[in-house]
């Protein structure tokens, strides 16, 4: 199949590209390399350095004529979204609308949309959170990703464009940027291996739902093959405290004394875990890589291959 992956030079998108290529698909990538890296793009995939919110996107669609579009390109930082909400909306809301418009114009069959579970629901009413939980984002990022979802749903109704929306928990694994403000596993791992003391914001008792990036890539393959539209969490349903992540990474790296503790960060939810039952029912997807194994693989990658 001909598949266009936006954000295919980024952390998650590059693993999705690898999985598509391994599945025998013909892949093209659209990415500005804003946070992504050319070196992460699979050599068999064609890279277009084009902004998803720009008019030049039309040329890529005209040339590639993809059957499926997998949309991972985004302004993916919560902190940047608070500082620059208009730029965040330009990329995430208007960029998604531009993708959908081009998809309909050129006869794309299906769109896969990488959305967020962690930034959508606010402080959850109960755990683990299901997909029908009220949407109450705490950041412009959560709002702009949800705007993308609404447009994807709309294009399904208005134009019959088939879609699947994947709402990710906290994704971790090889190629995650350790220098951004998010991605606690990558940040702690790089700090420990570099001999620096990681900082935990707050008491470290806050929880997250950590899902390994190869499991996420496999969910994308299943969503691509799935017949019918849908939305589902890509998550484990398991809460892990930041203190536990610190301890497990200290063991896996063999480094890391006591952490430093800093003030809690505004806009972060305190606890979250997302119910993966719907993905199991609709896509027959379940996470395969447990946390300790996933962290071990991540640490190994940072030791050997991190840029
Ligand atoms: N990492 C997570 O835990 C997580 C959780 C929930 C949702 N997501 C979503 O998954 C997707 C990928 O996130 P990631 O963590 O891999 O981040 P990332 O920053 O590594 O990937 C985003 C990619 O999009 C590219 N990009 C940015 N702006 C662009 C633009 N205007 N046009 C074209 N390309 C552009 C970047 O260069 C980068 O390669 C995003 O849509 C994000 O919202 C990630």
52 touches ligand 1 (CB under 6 Å): yes
- pLDDT one-digit tens code per residue, 114-125: 999 999 999 999
- pLDDT one-digit tens code per residue, 84-116: 999 999 999 999 999 999 999 999 999 999 999
Q: Does residue 97 sit within a domain?
A: yes
| Closest Cα to atom 2 of ligand 1 | 171
Q: What is the CATH number for 151?
A: 3.40.50.720
pLDDT at 90: 98
CA atoms of 52 and 24, how far apart (whole Å): 25
262 and 230 part of one domain: no
**Reported confidence tier of residue 176, pLDDT bands at 50, 70, 90:** very high
202 and 162 part of one domain: no
Measure 258 CA to ligand 1 centroid, in angstroms: 32
269 pLDDT more than 90: no
178 touches ligand 1 (CB under 6 Å): no
131 and 200 part of one domain: no
223 touches ligand 1 (CB under 6 Å): no
Q: What is the CATH number for 196?
A: 3.90.25.10
CB atoms within 10 A of CB 297: 18
CA atoms of 118 and 87, how far apart (whole Å): 21
Q: Does residue 75 sit within a domain?
A: yes
**Reported confidence tier of residue 239, pLDDT bands at 50, 70, 90:** very high
267 pLDDT more than 80: no
149 touches ligand 1 (CB under 6 Å): no
256 and 158 part of one domain: no
CA atoms of 296 and 307, how far apart (whole Å): 18
pLDDT at 293: 98
| Closest Cα to atom 32 of ligand 1 | 51
87 and 143 part of one domain: yes
Q: Does residue 144 sit within a domain?
A: yes
88 and 69 part of one domain: yes
30 touches ligand 1 (CB under 6 Å): yes
Write the secondary structure of 116-153 as one string of H (helix), E (strand) and C (coil). ECCCCCCCCCCCCECCCCCCCCCCHHHHHHHHHHHHHH
47 and 102 part of one domain: yes
Positions annotated as catalytic residues are 141
Q: Does residue 178 sit within a domain?
A: no
Measure 76 CA to ligand 1 centroid, in angstroms: 5
Measure 114 CA to ligand 1 centroid, in angstroms: 9
pLDDT at 179: 86
pLDDT at 181: 76
pLDDT at 48: 98
Look up the domain containing 190 and give its range. Answer: 184-207+239-273+292-304
CA atoms of 251 and 234, how far apart (whole Å): 27
Measure 113 CA to ligand 1 centroid, in angstroms: 11
Mutate to test the pocket of ligand 1, among 58, 76, 147 (most ligand atoms within 8 A of CB): 76
Question: Across all residues in the chain, what is the average pLDDT?
Answer: 96
162 and 297 part of one domain: no
Least confident range from 69-78, 101-110, 130-139, 175-184: namely 175-184
pLDDT at 168: 98
**Reported confidence tier of residue 305, pLDDT bands at 50, 70, 90:** confident
| Closest Cα to atom 27 of ligand 1 | 74
Q: Does residue 20 sit within a domain?
A: yes
pLDDT at 180: 78
Q: Does residue 104 sit within a domain?
A: yes
CA dist 185 → 30, 203, 216 (Å)? 27, 17, 16
Number of domains the chain is built from: 2
- pLDDT one-digit tens code per residue, 39-70: 999 999 999 999 999 999 999 999 999 999 99
**Reported confidence tier of residue 172, pLDDT bands at 50, 70, 90:** very high
5 pLDDT more than 80: yes
pLDDT at 271: 94
Q: Does residue 179 sit within a domain?
A: no
10 touches ligand 1 (CB under 6 Å): yes
139 touches ligand 1 (CB under 6 Å): no
86 and 132 part of one domain: yes
Q: Does residue 41 sit within a domain?
A: yes
Higher pLDDT, 266 or 280: 280
Contact 243, 205 (CB under 8 A): yes
CA angle 33, 36, 42 (to 5 degrees): 100
54 touches ligand 1 (CB under 6 Å): no
190 and 142 part of one domain: no
Which residues are CB-neighbours of 181 under 8 A, at least 6 positions away?
77, 78, 79, 80
Percent of the chain exceeding pLDDT 90 equals 94
Predicted TM-score (pTM) of this structure: 0.98
pLDDT at 275: 98
Mutate to test the pocket of ligand 1, among 6, 7, 212 (most ligand atoms within 8 A of CB): 7
33 touches ligand 1 (CB under 6 Å): yes
**Reported confidence tier of residue 299, pLDDT bands at 50, 70, 90:** very high
pLDDT at 201: 92
213 pLDDT more than 80: yes
Six-digit token string for 198: 């990681």
119 and 199 part of one domain: no
118 and 203 part of one domain: no
pLDDT at 182: 80
Measure 173 CA to ligand 1 centroid, in angstroms: 14
């Amino acid at each position: 199949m001909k598949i266009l992956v936006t954000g295919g030079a980024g952390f998650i998108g590059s693993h999705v590209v690898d999985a598509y290529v391994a599945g025998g698909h013909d892949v093209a990538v659209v990415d500005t390399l804003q946070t992504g890296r050319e070196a992460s793009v699979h050599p068999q995939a064609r890279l277009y350095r084009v902004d998803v919110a720009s008019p030049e996107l039309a040329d890529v669609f005209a040339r590639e004529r993809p059957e499926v579009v997998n949309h991972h390109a985004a302004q993916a930082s919560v902190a940047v979204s608070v500082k620059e909400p208009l730029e965040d909306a330009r990329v995430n809301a208007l960029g998604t609308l531009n993708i959908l418009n081009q998809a309909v114009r050129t006869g794309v069959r299906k769109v896969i949309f990488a959305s967020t579970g962690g930034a959508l629901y606010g402080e959850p009413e109960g755990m683990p959170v299901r997909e029908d939980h009220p949407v109450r984002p705490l950041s412009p990022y959560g709002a702009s990703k949800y705007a993308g979802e609404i447009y994807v749903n709309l294009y399904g109704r208005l134009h019959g464009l088939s879609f699947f929306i994947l709402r990710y928990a906290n994704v971790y694994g090889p190629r995650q940027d350790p220098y951004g403000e998010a991605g606690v596993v990558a940040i702690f791992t790089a700090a420990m291996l570099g001999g620096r003391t990681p900082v935990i914001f707050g008491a470290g008792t806050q929880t997250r739902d950590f899902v390994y990036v190869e499991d996420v890539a496999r969910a994308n393959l299943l969503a691509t093959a799935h017949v019918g539209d849908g939305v589902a969490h890509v998550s484990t349903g398991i809460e892990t405290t930041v203190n536990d992540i610190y301890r497990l990474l200290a063991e896996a790296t063999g480094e890391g004394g006591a952490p430093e503790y800093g003030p809690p960060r505004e806009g972060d939810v305190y606890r979250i875990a997302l119910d993966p039952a719907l993905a199991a029912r609709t896509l027959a997807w379940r996470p395969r890589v447990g946390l300790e194994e996933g962290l071990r693989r991540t640490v190994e990658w940072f030791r050997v291959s991190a840029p």
